[in-house]
């Protein structure tokens, strides 16, 4: 009833969030942190049917909301919305290669950062120190995404192979 790739992608998302939190705890001494939420939404939206991709993004969003100090439902709603938008335009992207998913992960990550900035700290929007911190976080996160996104997408595809599930996206456009 549910595509097993949904649970594989959800498990990979849990591992990426856990590793990001480990890195963030060691970077906290310098008041730096990473936000690497973009890659978690891309392959569920591009590889799975809408219902299965939405389930994976819903579970991922709930897990992120439970793990991070944000208002509950912030990332759940954001991940569902991002999954729905990506699913609408999924035939325009090549999911079986890394170029389009990497670019999409940067866009989704930037949208998540803007969502957090606007929702959580609207009282500090006129502070230059706040915007410096946001800029440093965004630059550091996107620099790390250049290396982490290809690795993460390839690990997810490798898990598909190891679990003997279909490695092709559902509804590939005919070329």
User: What is residue 71's predicted lDDT score, i.e. its pLDDT?
Assistant: 84
Structural contact between residues 173 and 101, judged by C-beta atoms closer than 8 angstroms: no
- What tens digit of pLDDT does each residue of 114-164 get? 888 888 777 777 778 888 988 999 999 999 999 999 999 999 999 999 999
Q: Please state the domain extents for the chain.
A: 31-162
Confidence band for 175, pLDDT divided at 50, 70 and 90: very low
Q: Which of 114, 101, 111, 106 is nearest to 81 (CA)?
A: 111
User: What is residue 55's predicted lDDT score, i.e. its pLDDT?
Assistant: 95
pTM above 0.75, yes or no: yes
Residue 20: pLDDT above 60?
Answer: yes
CA dist 8 → 21, 88, 132, 141, 154 (Å): 20, 22, 37, 24, 13
């Amino acid at each position: 009833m549910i595509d097993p790739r949904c649970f594989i992608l959800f498990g990979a998302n849990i591992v990426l969030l856990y590793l990001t939190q480990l890195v963030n705890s060691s970077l906290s001494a310098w008041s730096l942190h990473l936000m690497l939420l973009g890659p978690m939404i891309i392959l569920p939206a591009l590889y799975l049917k809408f219902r299965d991709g939405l389930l994976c993004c819903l579970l991922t969003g709930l897990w992120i909301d439970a793990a991070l100090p944000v208002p509950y439902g912030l990332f759940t709603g954001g991940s569902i919305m991002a999954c729905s938008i990506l699913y609408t335009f999924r035939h325009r992207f090549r999911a079986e290669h890394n170029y389009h998913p990497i670019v999409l992960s940067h866009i989704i990550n930037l949208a998540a950062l803007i969502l957090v900035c606007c929702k959580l700290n609207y009282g500090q929007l006129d502070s230059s120190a706040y915007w410096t911190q946001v800029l440093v976080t965004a630059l550091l996160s996107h620099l790390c995404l250049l290396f982490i996104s290809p690795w993460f997408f390839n690990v997810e595809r490798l898990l598909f192979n190891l679990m003997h599930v279909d490695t092709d996206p559902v509804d590939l456009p005919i070329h």
